[in-house]
Amino acid sequence: MTVKTNISDDKKVLTIVIEESFEFSQYQIFRDAYSEIDVIGIKFILDLSKAAFMDSSALGMILLLKDHADKLSGELIISKPSVMVNKILEIAQFHKLITIQR
Amino acid sequence: MRILIIEDSSLFAEILETFLISKQCETKISSSLQAAKDQLIISSFEFILLDNHLPDGNGIDILPFIKSLSCKVPVMMVTAEDNQALMSEAFEKGVDDFLVKPISVDLLWQKIQRCRRLYDQSEVVNLQTQELENLLNQRKQEENLARYVYEYTTASLSHNTQYVDTYIQSSSSFNGDAFICNTAPNGNLFAILADATGHGLAAAISILPLASTIKAMIRKGFSLAHIIHEANKKLNIELPDNKFVAIIGIEINFNKRELQLFNGGMPDVILLKTDHSLERYSSRSMALGILEPEVFDPKIVVVSLEAISNLFFFSDGLIEQQNIAGKPFSMHRLLETLKRYDYKESLVSCVVNEFTVFNGMAELLDDLSICDLQIKSLIDSHVYNKPKLIAANKGKITVTLEIEGGLIASTDVVGYLDGIMRSADMVGDLRQRAFTVFAELINNGIDHGILNLDSKLKNDFSGFFEYLRLKKARLTELGPDDKLSMKFAFCPNTAQIDFEIIDSGQGFDMNKDNSVCIDGLSGRGMDLVKKLCKTVDIVAPGNKIIVNLKSNR
């Protein structure tokens, strides 16, 4: 798993790109990508377009990110999951909790 | 008008000058040939009046010099000599007019104007000729470029396929017909003949983008119906209203022993049966590019390949071509030719010979394309050239795997199982689901079975860290009693995977409530596995799980 981040010029949007697989073993790197951010009203975009695989613990990690966004009165958007990853998100009923842009 | 007066009589020169100035002319007077030459070198004039008797020679002798100037200027001789021989010589040397002294200035003025007008007109003609030449050159260059692109594109359209014969002849340097023949990834053979309205460059331009689209779609495995629909949509958008493309599309499915046939606005497709009878398939749809995609409904006919020997089709240029007597080649004549066909030479050359004899030297009115698919030979070659025999019973593959100790922490078991699935030609969806299920079950067996980590730890944020720390620590302490056993079996005929996994852990309390709270941080793994598998059995005391996955197809 590779985690890349990109913050917009106005510091209001943080894009987190997950490459290869999204799984628990790299929890620390994933958490480091956003834990220092404290901008009120921030928008997190979790770009999963390059993630071929996701396991169930990644679902927990997404909820932690969502919790962080909620604390900052911000927003979390999951962007472009692959067919398989989207299926996992659907099984977990994440579309009821988080905006998923296909 | 700038006028040069070459005259040694200063009085006469002055009379001319005064008169010409009154006519808004600008004048210069040269009293000798040399002075005139000097003047002509340094400035340009629109008219020259020339006396013949000058101190340094005859006026007539300066004519070659004047004619050699880059700027063409009319010359009128004004002389006292009424000598026909001189006049004749002067005209030969390029004088434009002649006036004998004493002169009438009004007549002089009329002659000057007339002469000048003739020069102006010829200058305009020269300019126009030059422009026309430039345009012709430019057109030729553009046509060369277009030809290059056209030839490059059309050359790659049709692979030289055995048992597919074609004859294509253009009525001009560009062809508005295109023939595309290619094999799709599933082994089906496509043959498509398109004929754009008109001929020449205008028709070729309508065909080119269509041809590359069709070619690409065949390569990507689209069906005939899909290709025809897409082609109609593209042409409907891209072509002007008065342009369209008639098309014949044929897709041969060798496995099902049938062909699909689309005829939109082309002459009848003709089937030659093995019993020498003919069957005709008329156009049942509009040509492409006319109807909006929403209302366009391509009528595709399915025909069994049994008892067909050849499939013959052509553009209307064949039957509508008129010979010198003004008679068309006609469908009737073509059918007679096909009925007489004796299979001794190729059908295409048989028809082309008949056509050539009929047409004689008459000029081709439209592009002409003829295609013949030798169906019987194509089927035979398909049967005998199969790359490998596909057995009816594909068998089964079983893998048992056992890992113990430290290798549990470092072995990529999921990747290994994925490799097995790939090598057994397993298709997309089942393999992806199986990958997720294996990853969940193996992680589950390691974390909660062997390492005995409590997933409740993951329920709060600090717990996530604690969970990670414990996992790391316990993985380093794995011993020979820690084991993970798996059995994987795949059967292509039923498209099912059986997988079982046993860990050396103590199992868990199967009676406790395992339902997942939607925003809980953990406990989704088994839920996910259940949704992705057909069956999931957890065997007491909870350290053995057996699942079955089935392909959705």
Give A91 to chain B, closest Cα distance, Å. 7
> Are both B317 and B419 inside the same structural domain?
no
Termini Cα distance of chain A? 21
Q: How many CB pairs under 8 A join A and B?
A: 54
**With contacts defined as CB-CB under 8 Å, which chain A residues touch B463?**
none
Q: Is residue B442 part of a domain?
A: yes
CB contact under 8 A, A60 and B531: no
Which one of A23, A56, A63 has the shortest CB-CB distance to B528?
A: A56
Contact B169, B161 (CB under 8 A): no
Q: pLDDT by residue (tens digit) across B327-383?
A: 999 999 999 999 988 888 889 999 999 999 998 888 888 888 999 999 988 888 776
Which one of A24, A57, A97 has the shortest CB-CB distance to B518?
A: A97
Read off the pLDDT of each residue in B151-174 and give the average, rounded to a whole number: 76
**Burial bucket for residue B498 (CB in 10 Å: 0-12, 13-18, 19+):** middle
**With contacts defined as CB-CB under 8 Å, which chain A residues touch B433?**
84
> Are both B119 and B203 inside the same structural domain?
no
Closest CA to B514 of B448, B417, B464, B442: B448
CB contact under 8 A, A59 and B527: no
In angstroms, the CA B29 to CA B5 distance is 5
> Are both B335 and B247 inside the same structural domain?
yes
Which one of B443, B458, B518 has the shortest CB-CB distance to A55?
A: B443
A56, A68, A70: best to mutate for the B interface, most B CBs within 10 A: A56
Give A56 to chain B, closest Cα distance, Å. 5
DSSP state of B265: S
The whole-number pLDDT of residue B20 equals 94
- C-alpha distances out from residue B17 to B28, B53, B107, B342, Å: 8, 19, 15, 95
Contact B178, B371 (CB under 8 A): no
Give A54 to chain B, closest Cα distance, Å. 8
CB atoms within 10 A of CB B366: 22
CB contact under 8 A, A55 and B435: no
> Are both B364 and B270 inside the same structural domain?
yes
Q: Which residue of B has its CA nearest to A82?
A: B432
> Are both B380 and B235 inside the same structural domain?
yes
> Are both B303 and B380 inside the same structural domain?
yes
CB contact under 8 A, B458 and A92: no
- CATH code, domain carrying B465: 3.30.565.10
> Are both B242 and B272 inside the same structural domain?
yes
Contact B436, B426 (CB under 8 A): no
Least confident of B99-113, B209-223, B352-366, B422-436: B422-436
Q: pLDDT by residue (tens digit) across B235-268?
A: 888 888 778 899 999 999 888 889 999 999 999 9
Report the predicted TM-score, pTM, of the whole model to 2 decimal places: 0.46
Q: Is residue B135 part of a domain?
A: no
- C-alpha distances out from residue B77 to B45, B82, B94, Å: 16, 11, 11
In angstroms, the CA A52 to CA B414 distance is 14
Q: pLDDT by residue (tens digit) across B47-97?
A: 999 999 899 999 999 999 998 988 889 999 998 888 888 889 999 998 999
CB contact under 8 A, B468 and A28: yes
Do strands B496-503 and B544-550 pair parallel, antiparallel, or not at all (unpaired)?
antiparallel
Q: Which domain holds residue B405?
A: 397-550
B448, B528, B531, B549: best to mutate for the A interface, most A CBs within 10 A: B528
- pLDDT of B387 higher than 70: no
Is A88 near chain B, with CB under 8 Å?
yes
- CATH code, domain carrying A52: 3.30.750.24
> Are both B231 and B377 inside the same structural domain?
yes
- C-alpha distances out from residue B208 to B169, B183, B218, B246, B355, Å: 17, 20, 16, 14, 28
Q: Which residue of A has its CA nearest to B440?
A: A55
Q: Is the dihedral of CA B530, B534, B537, B543 positive or negative?
A: negative
Q: Is residue B531 part of a domain?
A: yes
Contacts 24+ apart (CB under 8 A), A3-10: A3/A29, A3/A30, A3/A33, A5/A33, A5/A34
Give A81 to chain B, closest Cα distance, Å. 14
Contact B69, B45 (CB under 8 A): no
Alpha carbon of residue A55 to chain centroid: 13
- pLDDT of B510 higher than 70: no
In angstroms, the CA B447 to CA B443 distance is 6
Residue B515: which pLDDT band, with cuts at 50, 70 and 90? low
Is A63 near chain B, with CB under 8 Å?
yes
List the beta strands (DSSP E) in B36-112.
Answer: 47-50, 53-54, 57-58, 75-79, 97-100
Closest CA to B147 of B129, B122, B165, B172: B172
Longest dimension (CA), chain A: 36
- pLDDT of B25 higher than 90: yes
- CATH code, domain carrying B377: 3.60.40.10
Q: Any residues with CB less than 8 A from the CB of B6 and at least 6 apart, and which?
A: B30, B31, B33, B36, B48, B49, B50, B51, B54, B59, B62
Q: Is residue B206 part of a domain?
A: yes
CB contact under 8 A, B519 and A63: yes
Closest CA to B148 of B231, B208, B217: B208
Residue A79: which pLDDT band, with cuts at 50, 70 and 90? very high
Which one of A31, A60, A83 has the shortest CB-CB distance to B458?
A: A60
Read off the pLDDT of each residue in B195-199 and give the average, rounded to a whole number: 81
- C-alpha distances out from residue B391 to B12, B255, B493, B496, Å: 117, 15, 11, 18
Q: Is the dihedral of CA B26, B32, B35, B37 positive or negative?
A: positive
Final residue in a domain of this structure, among B332, B357, B384 = B384
Q: Is residue B147 part of a domain?
A: no
> Are both B430 and B335 inside the same structural domain?
no
Is A56 near chain B, with CB under 8 Å?
yes
**With contacts defined as CB-CB under 8 Å, which chain A residues touch B518?**
93, 96-97
CB contact under 8 A, B525 and A88: no
Contact B367, B176 (CB under 8 A): yes
- pLDDT of A44 higher than 70: yes
The whole-number pLDDT of residue B71 equals 83
The whole-number pLDDT of residue B111 equals 93
The whole-number pLDDT of residue B553 equals 61
In angstroms, the CA B184 to CA B217 distance is 9
Q: pLDDT by residue (tens digit) across B125-161?
A: 989 999 999 999 888 888 888 777 777 776 666 666 7
Q: Across-strand partners of B169?
A: B368
- pLDDT of B385 higher than 70: no
Q: What is the DSSP string of B405-424?
A: TTHHHH--HHHHHHHHHHHT
CB contact under 8 A, B524 and A60: yes
- pLDDT of B220 higher than 90: no
Longest dimension (CA), chain B: 141
**Burial bucket for residue B528 (CB in 10 Å: 0-12, 13-18, 19+):** buried
- Number of structural domains chain A divides into: 1
Read off the pLDDT of each residue in B284-298 and give the average, rounded to a whole number: 88
In angstroms, the CA A43 to CA A66 distance is 10
Give B259 to chain A, closest Cα distance, Å. 34
A27, A35, A57: best to mutate for the B interface, most B CBs within 10 A: A57
Which one of A56, A64, A84 has the shortest CB-CB distance to B440?
A: A56
Residue listed under structure tokens 């309205």: B197
- Number of structural domains chain B divides into: 3
Q: Which domain holds residue A35?
A: 2-101
CB contact under 8 A, B433 and A84: yes
CB contact under 8 A, A59 and B524: yes
Read off the pLDDT of each residue in B121-126 and give the average, rounded to a whole number: 90
Closest CA to B46 of B23, B66, B74: B74
Residue listed under structure tokens 């629909």: B229
